[in-house]
Chains A and B, each alone.
Chain A
Amino acid sequence: NAGVTQTPKFQVLKTGQSMTLQCAQDMNHEYMSWYRQDPGMGLRLIHYSVGAGITDQGEVPNGYNVSRSTTEDFPLRLLSAAPSQTSVYFCAISKTGSDTQYFGPGTRLTVL
């Protein structure tokens, strides 16, 4: 998980609570993305960013917000958590011109 850190590692929320999952990188890679991983579903793209100030929706964006004010950080916000958002969340980075994605260690989120 070279150069990609995610915090927290584990989190339990109650329905309706809000929180921010943090992703930070020290590799100066332009592209950052968020995935969620659910049993039998593989990884699904939530949001992604091709650089500071630029974000776009992925496959499953509903219920999540993102912003990218710096190259290093790409936080994922849950404004009103729902049990359906119980999942493992991964942040990934990639350098422009390279197809290789580096994944962070993940955040396991449980919404009760």
Chain B
Amino acid sequence: QQQVKQSPQSLIVQKGGISIINCAYENTAFDYFPWYQQFPGKGPALLIAIRPDVSEKKEGRFTISFNKSAKQFSLHIMDSQPGDSATYFCAASNKGTYKYIFGTGTRLKVLA
């Protein structure tokens, strides 16, 4: 049962453009929403995360927007660079359970 739906499956963006990846969840008990970045042959690495008590979190060129009523959250990558080319996963969990549900991933390619 897929509880976190991620889109698009793949994304191609020009250098300097904005990359937007969306996720939607079903379980209203989720209260932690991280984004992971994964390069080929490597394990996922935490990029940025948000809790539902805020609507936006920004770290450098990466921003999470969170819409609690719509049960949706998105990752925005500003000024996208070729080095950002990777697979991005959203996830959700209940605090303290350590059980994460991942989205299916988005393969991002930033053209030079």
Q: Contact: B43 with A41, CB < 8 Å?
A: no
**For the complex, is B6 an interface residue (Cβ under 8 Å from A)?**
yes
Q: Are A103 and B45 in contact (CB under 8 A)?
A: yes
How many residues on A have C-beta within 8 angstroms of the other chain's C-beta atoms?
A: 26
- Is residue A106 contacting chain B, with contact meaning CB distance below 8 A? yes
Q: How far is the CB of A10 from chain B (nearest CB, A)?
A: 11
Indicate whether A1 sits within 8 Å of B42 (C-beta atoms), given known contacts A42-B6, A42-B89, A99-B93: yes
Q: Does A58 contact B (CB under 8 A)?
A: yes
Q: Is A109 an interface residue (CB 8 A)?
A: no
Q: How far is the CA of A18 from the CA of B108 in the complex (A)?
A: 36
Binding site for B on A (CB under 8 A): 1, 4, 31, 33, 35, 40-45, 48, 50, 58-59, 90, 92, 94, 99-106
| Apart from A4-B43, A58-B99, A103-B45, 10 more pairs, CB < 8 Å | A1-B42, A42-B6, A43-B44, A45-B99, A94-B98, A99-B95, A100-B49, A101-B100, A103-B44, A106-B43
